Amino acid sequence: MSQRIPIYKYQDETYRADSCQPLLGAARDGDLTFDAVVHGHYPGKPLPGSAMPGLKTLGYWNAEKQQHWGLDWHQNEGLEICLLERGHLEFAVEDEVHQLQPNDLTITRPWQRHRLGSPSIGPGRLHWIIIDLGVRRPHQHWRWPPWIVLTRDDLDELTSLLRQNEQPVWSQANEVSQCFQRISRILGEQGHTTEVANVSWLKLLINEMLLLLLDLLRSRDVKKDASLADTQRTVELFLDDLRNDHHHLAEEWTLKMMAESCGLGVTRFTEYCRRLTNTTPMQHLNRLRLEAAAKLLLQHSDLSNAQVARACGFSSPQYFATVFRRHYGYSPQKHRLENKD
């Protein structure tokens, strides 16, 4: 399979498709996990030449912590569909900037300029697919690969909706999200083997995902979406309050107490928290406490470690010192000494 990077010509300009090298570097450094199957120059496990020609890349990344990289302005040679399963992510396309929420879906047409990150990527889980439609110059017809099995009428309608689409972000794409999650499980099951297995399942699920996308573009249940958004917003406001109010953060929270504060059961609260932060509620609470403690150590040099631990909600100074060292790689004392003005 050729590793040459496709180019696109418009008037006197020539553009090259992006190759997502920052993502590959982050995966090599152990900063996130990612799985993908690819044709051509994208990072991932190469597909056999005869398997789903035109599928440039299909994959996901899972970042459990803040990253030090982003995908700056770039173009891709195919139709790109992304789905943010968890976390938050800034997405920009042309002159529009969007703050993606969990289960937001993005659509970028071939060679449409876009970026991910502001400038870096935060904790989150993102799924994507890029399908090459043979577009190398403006106004060329979209040519879908032969393994896309939608009926001619459905495919023509999908093409028309996508080509004329001026809404790059679609919220609460729940069914598309579930389909991408099934794809990611298949990709993750392949482990470190060099051969790509389950091509038939991947082909089937990609076609299902395109049908679900067509249904999404045809119509929306606005009332249902609004209800889901309201519940998610309640959890988001609660988490923001934890971040911004040290007295609130220092309370002796249990998972049940946090869920009840949002009027939810433990299971639903945990689900929304994972969507928003890509961590469990208790992991997120611990991370917020550590961030607050790191700031307090520098802002109030008169406070002892025990006072800082108590102010941020840690059960004991010893536990605080242990988790601080585990998270930052050095002790609270060293943090204070090395970051003096």
pLDDT at 274: 92
Would you say residue 206 has pLDDT above 50? yes
Percentage of the chain beyond pLDDT 70 is 88
Average pLDDT on 314-327 reads 91
Percentage of the chain beyond pLDDT 90 is 53
pLDDT at 339: 77
Helices (H), the chain: 21-28, 152-163, 174-189, 199-218, 222-244, 246-249, 255-261, 266-277, 281-299, 305-311, 317-328, 332-338
Mean pLDDT of the chain: 86
DSSP 316-341: -HHHHHHHHHHHHSS-HHHHHHHT--
More confident residue, 323 or 135: 323
pLDDT at 194: 53
pLDDT at 15: 44
Angstrom distance (rounded) from CA 168 to CA 105:
8
DSSP reduced 3-state for 111: coil
How many Cβ atoms sit within 10 Å of the Cβ of residue 191?
7
pLDDT tens readout for residues 84-101: 999 999 999 987 999 999
pLDDT at 228: 57
pLDDT tens readout for residues 8-59: 444 444 444 555 778 888 888 888 889 999 998 888 999 998 899 999 999 9
Average pLDDT on 204-227 reads 80
**Numbered ranges of CATH 2.60.120.10 in the chain:** 7-220
Average pLDDT on 213-221 reads 83
Average pLDDT on 243-269 reads 89
Average pLDDT on 284-307 reads 91
Among candidates 303, 301, 161, which has minimal Cα distance to 219?
161
Average pLDDT on 298-312 reads 90
**Numbered ranges of CATH 1.10.10.60 in the chain:** 225-338
Place 186 in a pLDDT band, splitting at 50, 70 and 90: very high
pLDDT at 217: 92
More confident residue, 338 or 89: 89
Average pLDDT on 240-263 reads 88
Tell me which of 3.40.50.1220, 3.30.470.10, 3.20.20.70, 2.60.120.10 is the CATH number of domain 7-220.
2.60.120.10
Average pLDDT on 178-204 reads 85
Would you say residue 105 has pLDDT above 80? yes
Quick check: 27 and 43 in contact, CB under 8 A? yes
Would you say residue 227 has pLDDT above 80? no
CATH 1.10.10.60, applies to 225-338 = yes
Would you say residue 252 has pLDDT above 80? yes
Backbone torsion region of residue 172, taken as left when φ is above 0, otherwise alpha when ψ lies between -120 and 50, otherwise beta:
left
Q: What sign results for the dihedral spanned by CA atoms 289, 292, 295, 296?
A: negative
Would you say residue 213 has pLDDT above 60? yes
pLDDT at 160: 87
Angstrom distance (rounded) from CA 316 to CA 307:
10
